[in-house]
Amino acid sequence: MLKLYGKLRSRVTRNVWLVEELGIPYERVDVIQANRLPDPSAPGAPLHTRHPDFLKVNPAGHIPAMDDDGLVIGESLAINLHLARKHGGPLGPRDAAEDAQMTMWTLWAATDVEPHASQILYNRVMRPPEQRDEALAKASVIALDWPFGVLDAHLAKAGGHLVGGRFTVADINVSEVARYAQAAPDLFDKAPHVKAWLAACHARPAFREMMRQREAEPV
């Protein structure tokens, strides 16, 4: 059976959303980020990203990781591209051209969007108020103005999806990165096609099921 390693309060959300869309059986193994523990080396500490047992799975020490019938890889976006190619049906590529486009949009999200979107998330939501850097958050909003314009124009031209005129793994990968910027609503107001696309992605039953599981997980 497919195994996914990681707490839902991590990027494993991307993988759980996809496998819920695909309807394939899987097991999720709880692995917490070591930096979330007061003392990862304490006796009885839960399985974490620096634990020797997990490092046998992913020596990089990051979640998520995947074991798919002996194929073991890390990196959430790469995991999704693999699973979509293997199981995807309409969610996966129909030909080499679609495969290239799905890979392009995934890498674009990781390089052009996520570094800035994550700073908005950290400095407006996740960090305690006294540790937030609003100046950095504002700079990240400015940095995302161009990428959001690129995405908005593409969605308008392509009919509301990234590849092939239908919902695919590319929409999952990119929307899960764009989600981090939701604490900057002005970005979405200036990109109405992005705003509508993200809302449609989040209305999907598989996304809602993933979020239900995530919200039930202890902080």
Per-residue pLDDT of the chain (219 residues; tens, 9 = 90+): 999 999 999 999 999 999 999 999 999 999 999 999 999 999 999 999 999 999 999 999 999 999 999 999 999 999 999 999 999 899 999 999 999 999 999 999 999 999 999 999 999 999 999 999 999 999 999 999 999 999 999 999 999 999 999 999 999 999 999 999 999 999 999 999 999 999 999 999 999 999 999 999 987
For residues 112 and 189, give the distance between their C-alpha atoms in angstroms, rounded to a whole number: 19
User: Whose CA is closest to 161, among 144, 145, 174?
Assistant: 174
Tracing tokens 């990428």 back to the chain, one arrives at 147
pTM above 0.85, yes or no: yes
CA dihedral 124, 125, 130, 134 (to 10 degrees): -10
Boundary residue ending a domain (30, 62, 87): 87
DSSP 165-190: TB--HHHHHHHHHHGGGTT-HHHHHT
For residues 93 and 99, give the distance between their C-alpha atoms in angstroms, rounded to a whole number: 5
| Residues 148 and 189 both lie in one domain | yes
Please classify residue 78 by burial: count the beta carbons closer than 10 Å to its beta carbon, then call 0-12 exposed, 13-18 middle and 19+ buried: middle
Boundary residue ending a domain (49, 67, 87): 87
- What residue numbers bound the domain in which 124 lies? 93-207
Give how many domains the chain has, as a whole number.
Answer: 2
For residues 120 and 128, give the distance between their C-alpha atoms in angstroms, rounded to a whole number: 13
